[in-house]
């Protein structure tokens, strides 16, 4: 087809199908929901900690710009995830009211929204802050959208184990925005979130395994059964607890962080053990629910302690 | 354009939501402009130095 005929095609009046197209019903709140604000809050917080504990100085405006770009990049990932997963979101009770399955946002609108935000977040990050950190952010978005959402999620029960790398990268991006490189400390922060993701998500999937089975998502409880999931949760938590202490062992954090990591790690182990032990009835549901709820607190508590410990050390009150 | 058979006539709710979306886009662009302006002031001539 020649360019001239392309022009002719484009200049033709819109057909009746277009004339009958429904105008968008999407409100601003629907677009905000596409950004997965609750996931974004964890991303922004861990990235903030990565940025603040990194050695060196960053101007507050540049730091704010970095965080804004990381938040928008995370939101873009969420929107693109919702665009691709609209079919499975529609059959799961937890996600059926999301903007696309609910019919308030058209899939194409979500795709355009997510793509635009992804490109802008990386470009602005590169131009205003650092191209190295921007490349890491681009990789994070790529990993979440293409590797986790499009490839692994519907393929393997290891989906959230490998895909968890995307959620673990924000503190590394925050660190890189200041230092321009990656060292042991951000790798430890990455490992904490990476190892925390499986027990966190599998506790939820124990509660929602019927949903995942109906949607055809091969989550571990669906593929390997509830007992195997409980065993895996315990194994990952046994690895997570000592890794949570690693920043203190390697001298990257002091006793304050070590005490918080020890207490929270012990609590995670107790709750994971209860999930492993209580396999039937209300006790099983309660154990999974408690582990899921505490796992959220765990990651926030550890990163808050890391930040507090670092600030105290910088002020000369390090423990 | 008058509301006839060939055009799309928006309901009041659709008009309200379109207006809200337009305002949100305008605000986002405004924030982006202000961000570039402030970062330029903060960095000064170094704004052209973009380390990898």
Residue B11 sits at the vertex; the CA angle it makes with B7 and B15, to the nearest 5 degrees, is: 95
Looking only at Cα atoms, what is the longest distance across chain A? 74
Q: How far apart are CA A87 and CA A69, in angstroms?
A: 29
A227, A262 in Cβ contact below 8 A? Answer: no
**Tokens, residue A28:** 């601003």
- Does the complex come out with an ipTM higher than 0.90? no
Structure letter (DSSP) for residue A110: H
Residues 6 or more apart in contact with residue A163 via CB below 8 angstroms = A143, A144, A147, A148, A149, A152, A153, A197
- The structure's pTM equals 0.89
What are the residue boundaries of the structural domains of chain B, listed by start? 12-46
Calculate the dihedral angle through the C-alpha atoms of A242, A268, A191, A75, rounding to the nearest 10 degrees.
Answer: -170
Q: Which residues of B touch A59 (CB under 8 A)?
A: 42
Per the CB < 8 Å rule, is B14 touching A180?
no
pLDDT (tens, 9 = 90+) of chain A, 319 residues, equals 444 444 444 444 444 444 455 778 899 999 999 999 999 999 999 999 999 999 988 999 999 999 999 999 999 999 999 999 999 999 998 899 999 999 999 999 999 999 999 999 999 999 999 999 999 999 999 999 999 999 999 999 999 999 999 999 999 999 999 999 999 999 999 999 999 999 999 999 999 888 899 999 999 999 999 999 999 999 999 999 999 999 999 999 999 999 999 999 999 999 999 999 999 999 999 999 999 999 999 999 999 999 999 999 988 887 6
pLDDT (tens, 9 = 90+) of chain B, 52 residues, equals 444 566 788 889 889 999 999 999 999 999 999 999 999 999 887 767 666 5
Chain A to chain B Cβ contacts (< 8 Å): 54
Q: Which residue of chain A comes nearest to B13, CA vs CA? A: A25
Q: Which of A42, A92, A81 is nearest to A215 (CA)?
A: A92
Q: Which residue of chain B comes nearest to A60, CA vs CA? A: B42
Per the CB < 8 Å rule, is B42 touching A31?
no
Per the CB < 8 Å rule, is B21 touching A31?
yes
Structure letter (DSSP) for residue A105: S
In this prediction, residue A19 carries a pLDDT of: 44
CATH class of A23-182: mainly alpha
Distance from CA of B14 to the nearest CA of A (A): 6
Q: Quickly list H helices, chain A.
A: 3-11, 16-19, 28-34, 37-53, 60-84, 86-91, 107-128, 131-142, 159-168, 170-179, 184-207, 209-215, 220-223, 226-249, 255-277, 281-314
Distance from CA of A246 to the nearest CA of B (A): 29
* CATH architecture label of A183-319: Up-down Bundle (1.20)
Q: How far apart are CA A82 and CA A104, in angstroms?
A: 13
A271, A238 in Cβ contact below 8 A? Answer: no
Q: Which among B21, B38, B50 has the least Cβ separation from residue A26?
A: B21
- C-alpha distances (whole Å) from A26 to each of A34, A180, A287, B9 are 11, 39, 39, 16
Q: How far apart are CA A298 and CA A311, in angstroms?
A: 20
The length of chain B in residues reads: 52
Q: Which residues of A touch B17 (CB under 8 A)?
A: 24-28
What are the residue boundaries of the structural domains of chain A, listed by start? 23-182, 183-319
**Tokens, residue A282:** 């209300």
A138, A80 in Cβ contact below 8 A? Answer: no
A45, A300 in Cβ contact below 8 A? Answer: yes
Tokens 């950004």 belong to which residue? A35
Q: Which among A19, A21, A23 has the least Cβ separation from residue B14?
A: A23
Q: Which residues of B touch A63 (CB under 8 A)?
A: none
Tokens 């919702």 belong to which residue? A82
């Amino acid at each position: 087809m020649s360019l001239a005929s392309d022009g002719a095609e484009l200049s033709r009046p819109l057909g009746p199908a277009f004339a009958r197209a429904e105008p968008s019903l999407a409100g601003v709140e629907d677009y905000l929901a596409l950004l997965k604000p609750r996931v974004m809050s964890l991303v922004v917080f861990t990235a903030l900690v990565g940025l603040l504990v990194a050695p060196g100085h960053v101007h507050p405006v540049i730091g704010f710009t970095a965080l804004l770009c990381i938040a928008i990049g995370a939101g873009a990932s969420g929107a693109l995830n919702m665009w691709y997963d609209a079919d499975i979101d529609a059959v799961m009770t937890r996600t059926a009211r999301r903007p696309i399955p609910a019919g308030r946002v058209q899939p194409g609108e979500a795709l355009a929204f997510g793509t635009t935000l992804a490109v802008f977040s990386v470009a602005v990050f590169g131009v205003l802050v650092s191209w190295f950190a921007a490349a890491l952010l681009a990789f994070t978005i790529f990993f979440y959208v293409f590797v986790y959402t499009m490839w692994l999620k519907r393929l393997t029960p290891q989906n959230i184990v490998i895909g968890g790398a995307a959620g673990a990268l924000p503190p590394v991006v925050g660190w890189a925005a200041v230092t321009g490189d990656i060292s042991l400390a951000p790798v430890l922060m990455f490992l904490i979130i990476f190892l925390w993701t499986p027990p966190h998500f599998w506790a939820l999937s124990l509660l929602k395994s019927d949903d995942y089975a109906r949607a055809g998502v091969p989550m571990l409880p669906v593929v390997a059964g509830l007992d195997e999931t409980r065993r895996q949760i315990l194994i990952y938590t046994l690895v997570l607890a000592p890794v949570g202490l690693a920043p203190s062992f390697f001298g990257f954090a002091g006793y304050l962080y070590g005490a918080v990591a020890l207490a929270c790690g012990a609590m995670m182990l107790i709750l994971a053990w209860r999930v492993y032990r209580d396999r039937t009835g209300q006790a099983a549901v309660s154990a999974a629910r408690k582990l899921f709820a505490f796992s959220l607190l765990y990651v926030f508590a550890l990163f808050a302690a890391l930040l507090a410990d670092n600030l105290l050390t910088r002020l000369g009150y390090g423990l | 354009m008058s509301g006839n058979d060939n055009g799309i006539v928006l309901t009041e709710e659709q008009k309200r939501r379109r207006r809200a979306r337009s305002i949100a886009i305008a605000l986002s662009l405004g924030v982006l402009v202000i961000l570039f302006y402030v970062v330029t002031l903060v960095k000064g001539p170094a704004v052209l130095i973009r380390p990898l």
